Structure formats: structure tokens, C-alpha cells
Amino acid sequence: MCCLKHEEEAYEDLNSKLPNVGDMVTTSDGLRGEVQSVTVLKQLVKVIVTLENDEKEVREYKASTLKFTARKRKERVALDEELRVLEMLEMKEGKSHLDDV
């Protein structure tokens, strides 16, 4: 369980540096566009941009080259408390009732 907790922290940190799908961003080449998808581990963002001739195109950018309002992270305390509650439920219940189905 502790390994997953460290992985979760690393993933959340990487994810906090990315825009959300649907967010509007400004690209390094001066275009505005809507985020279509993100690749957290590679820190890549696919953006639907509108070109000068009103044609739309999907382009991929490094997150560090985009301008956007960063999402707010949950308080670490709140996440730790949620994890503690889940662990308590697991110990209390013993096994999942889904196994009985």
C-alpha cells in the first residue's frame, strides 16, 4: 500500500502541471485552442487549434510550453484522511462482498 501512496503523490504532482481536457490554452506558436487529451507521464497535451483560414487541427505540445491556469491541488491532509478512512473500511469489512456474487 505504501508504494501506491508514493506513486499516487508523483502522479498527482505531474498531473497538477497539466491543463484539464476542455480547458482553453495558448500555445507556444501563439494559437489558442481547446485541450483534447493529456499524457501525464510524458507531459504532452493534444490541443485543437484554429488556424488563420478557420481550419481546425490537432497539435501536440509539451505542457511546459503552454499558457493556462493551473488546476488547484487537493490538500494533502484531505487525501491522507481519505486514504486512512478507506484503509479502516478495508480492515473492518475484511473481504469484499463483490466476491460473493
Domains of the chain: 2-100 (2.30.30.30)
Is 0.75 surpassed by the pTM of this model?
A: no
Partnered with residue 45 across adjacent β-strands are 38, 61
pLDDT score for 45: 97
What is the residue-wise DSSP string for 19-30?
PPTT-EEE-TTS
pLDDT tens, per residue, the chain with 101 residues: 566 667 888 888 888 889 999 999 999 999 999 999 999 999 999 999 999 899 999 999 999 999 998 665 555 556 778 888 888 887 776 665 555 55
CA 56 to chain centroid: 24
φ and ψ at 38, to 5 degrees? Answer: -135, 150
Residue 24: closest CA among 50, 42, 52: 50
CB 37 within 8 A of CB 21: yes
pLDDT score for 58: 97
